[in-house]
């Protein structure tokens, strides 16, 4: 059957060959307790993070390059994914964190229909997904964690090959914002939306445009995470402007704009969050 799950709409027969997302079926590269997500996500014991192989967006600077390009990852069935959910629960995970799920959301929904964990399920997305696909998995999802990456079609075209990124992601995030916000008494996000934005080198003006757009899209109570962890990764020979970390001044300008817009529930990162030591070890 031709795959039309995501906005790429490449029509690959995923039983036989991979599409743009790079995987035929469902693959998992790693799962573990992640201590470095935002406090309402990592909470006390860590977020039960599952990295799926492949990705439909394929950013040239991907911080998990070998996983998103499907160089790593073992094929698994939805039932085996349920076993991973159970193992992470047994390890004390504060939630199940589905990283890059958009191109495999059908398989994940099948797993969640077999076994729904007792802890919140987090959909950790690039935002490049169709609302029709989100509707299918939404009954099983408690928390949405999208990263709104670009506002400019020229920039998203340059770094992902997808000119329609913002329009698609804005529609997806508007859908995600309907999830009711609920925090536990000790600050764990039980339900709702937390939006991320990764500040990139030479992209301050686009970051400011992203924040302006989010101000329009989001309800007041949605938290925003401004990430400064960008580390040069991937094949950047054709993108020399990306071959450095962001400066303190770049991050400060974006942060000041978020404060000026009145984002009250704001997560920021220290300069020490930058570096390959924060990239998971793909053992
Ligand atoms: S999920 Fe993968 S195979 Fe399906 S349309 Fe998107 S890129 Fe193509």
How does pLDDT run across 136-180, given as a tens digit for each residue?
A: 999 999 999 999 999 999 999 999 999 999 999 999 999 999 999
Nearest-atom number in ligand 1 for the CA of 56 is: 7
Task: State the number of CA atoms in the 13 A half-sphere of 254 facing the CB.
Answer: 30
The answer to whether 6 and 133 are in contact (CB under 8 A) is yes
**273 pLDDT exceeds 70?**
no
Q: Nearest-CA neighbor of 189 among 113, 102, 265?
A: 265
**282 pLDDT exceeds 50?**
no
Provide the pLDDT for residue 270: 81
Interval 80-138: pLDDT, tens: 999 999 999 999 999 999 999 999 999 999 999 999 999 999 999 999 999 999 999 99
Provide the pLDDT for residue 74: 92
Provide the pLDDT for residue 184: 97
More confident of the two residues 233 and 7: 7
Global pTM reads: 0.95
Provide the pLDDT for residue 274: 60
The segment with the largest mean pLDDT, out of 147-156, 227-236, 274-283, is 147-156
The answer to whether 77 and 104 are in contact (CB under 8 A) is no
To test ligand 1's pocket by mutation, which of 1, 4, 5 has the most ligand atoms within 8 angstroms of CB?
Answer: 5
Separation CA 142–CA 138 (nearest Å) = 8
To test ligand 1's pocket by mutation, which of 1, 2, 13, 14 has the most ligand atoms within 8 angstroms of CB?
Answer: 14
71 band by pLDDT with thresholds 50, 70 and 90: confident
Q: Nearest-CA neighbor of 268 among 28, 20, 39?
A: 39
Considering only CA atoms, give the Rg of the chain. Answer: 18
Find the mean pLDDT for residues 24-50. Answer: 95
Q: Whose CA is nearest to atom 4 of ligand 1?
A: 3
Find the mean pLDDT for residues 44-73. Answer: 91
Q: What is the DSSP letter of 238?
A: T
Separation CA 157–CA 163 (nearest Å) = 5
Report the mean per-residue pLDDT for the chain.
94
Q: What percent of the chain is modeled with pLDDT above 70?
A: 96
Q: What percent of the chain is modeled with pLDDT above 90?
A: 87
Angle at 39 between CA 35 and CA 40, to 5 degrees: 115
- Within the chain, strands assigned E span 27-34, 47-52, 74-75, 96-99, 121-125, 143-146, 182-183, 189-193, 195-198, 224-227, 266-268
Q: Nearest-CA neighbor of 3 among 283, 168, 21?
A: 21
Provide the pLDDT for residue 279: 59
Separation CA 228–CA 247 (nearest Å) = 9
Nearest-atom number in ligand 1 for the CA of 4 is: 5
CA of 172 to the centre of ligand 1 (A): 17
Separation CA 175–CA 157 (nearest Å) = 24
Separation CA 72–CA 51 (nearest Å) = 10
Q: Whose CA is nearest to atom 6 of ligand 1?
A: 6
221 band by pLDDT with thresholds 50, 70 and 90: confident
- What 3-state DSSP class applies to 28? strand
Q: Nearest-CA neighbor of 164 among 173, 176, 154, 178?
A: 154
Separation CA 251–CA 208 (nearest Å) = 11
How far from 58 is each of 126, 171, 230, 274, CA to CA, in Å?
Answer: 10, 20, 16, 21
Q: What are the φ/ψ torsions at residue 212 (nearest 5 degrees)?
A: -60, -40
Which protein residues touch ligand 1 with a CB less than 6 Å away?
Answer: 3-6, 8-10, 12, 14, 19-21, 56, 103
Q: Could you tell me the domains of the chain? A: 27-197+233-247 (3.20.20.70)
CA of 283 to the centre of ligand 1 (A): 27
Tell me which of 35-44, 60-69, 93-102 is least confident: 60-69
Nearest-atom number in ligand 1 for the CA of 12 is: 3
Tell me which of 55-64, 163-172, 217-226, 266-275 is least confident: 266-275
């Amino acid at each position: 059957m031709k795959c039309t799950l995501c906005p790429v709409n490449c029509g690959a027969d995923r039983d036989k060959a991979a599409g743009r997302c790079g995987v035929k079926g469902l693959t998992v590269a790693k799962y573990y307790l992640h201590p470095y997500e935002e406090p309402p996500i990592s909470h006390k014991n860590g977020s039960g993070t599952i990295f799926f192989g492949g990705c439909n967006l394929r950013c040239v600077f991907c911080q998990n390059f070998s996983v998103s390009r499907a160089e790593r990852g073992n094929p698994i069935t939805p039932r085996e994914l349920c076993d991973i959910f159970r193992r992470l629960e047994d390890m004390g995970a504060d939630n199940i964190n589905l990283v890059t799920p958009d191109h495999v959301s059908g398989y994940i929904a099948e797993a969640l229909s077999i076994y729904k964990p007792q802890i919140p399920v987090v959909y950790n997305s690039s935002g490049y997904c169709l609302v029709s696909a989100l509707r299918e998995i939404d009954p099983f999802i408690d928390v949405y964690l999208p990263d709104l990456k670009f506002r400019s079609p020229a920039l998203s075209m340059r770094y992902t090959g997808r000119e329609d990124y913002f329009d698609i992601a804005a529609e997806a995030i508007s859908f995600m914002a309907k999830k009711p916000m609920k925090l536990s008494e000790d600050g764990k996000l039980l339900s709702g939306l937390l939006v991320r934005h990764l500040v990139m080198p030479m992209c301050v003006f686009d970051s400011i445009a992203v924040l302006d757009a989010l101000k329009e899209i989001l309800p007041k109570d949605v938290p925003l995470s401004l990430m400064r962890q960008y580390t040069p990764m991937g094949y950047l020979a054709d993108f020399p402007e990306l071959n450095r970390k962001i400066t303190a001044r770049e991050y400060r300008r974006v942060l000041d704009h978020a404060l000026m817009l009145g984002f009250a529930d704001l997560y920021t990162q220290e300069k020490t969050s930058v570096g390959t030591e924060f990239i998971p070890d793909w053992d």
